[in-house]
Structure 1
């Protein structure tokens, strides 16, 4: 009988160390531009080898968390939003960064919703959830798929799903009934859509 094997993903050492370094930066409140301790010091702090620290630092440089300056050292950086580095290492964004993700998500949503409405694409699917934010996640994702906007689809889902997962949205009262957004979309009512989306954008100041 032919054997079958199930592969289980196991976090590699450098991934674990990258996560530890990111958590150290967060715990120490190291702002962008702050110099990171030397490899030897970090290896002692984290109780891992210097080679693992070096590999972990390299991962964080690639993700944009750190910036190496020749002859000066390694410095904390502000990672670019589009890479979703927090998602990749399983570390939640700071409150300020979370607001940036929320704002960026709404920019994507506005583009997809208005384009779909302009093309007269009626939406009649159910998200299977009574939660406003989960409905929003599925709604924009479905519209982007229908528009064949592959980049928007993946980026929207990753970004907004992280916003929902790490932020206070699920505990907040939505600014309007979600059906209002669907009705405005299906009626291709651009002024009404902009009004509702603006209310979502303003909602960030109450979170």
Structure 2
């Protein structure tokens, strides 16, 4: 007598979009922001907020798309929360009344502190289970570093100086320093996420298949008994 084993559970579908694509998208948007600030002769609050608002809008879209395309059901809370908070920052950055030195520091510091703390905490919590958690820890720490760096700058700071070789007088202001710090943050994020995105790693589909196989009692070889 031959006893048939239960049907083998089908392997989950292979995802064509992985975590690396989310990282590369974020790296691209950060690189664009860094380039715009670096090559702009105007580091005013208006320019700084415009660049931040565009960066935050694109990053929020990347978070929302990754929640749908990258993360499985039950694991989408983090990108949705980060995307929502980043979108709020983008909206605030686009409001004309907030395009002032005080507004720039308030919006960017708040965004960097909250999203940085959330991503850092998520990475620490997942560091034993997911290799990508190490990237989250560093990105979160960099966000907190951005907030701290901006808090150390006085928005009302102003220093006049003369460069004889250039034949002119110039003024270094707090907002110029603040926008420059944000540009430096964007450049570091772009480099790090770009490296993380191109680094070799185990495919997500392979991890999912292994997890499913170990968790399902039906994935066993057929037994033949007489």
Specify if TM > 0.5: no
Larger Rg: 2
Greater relative CO, 1 or 2 (CA 8 Å, sep 6+): 2
TM-score (norm 2): 0.27
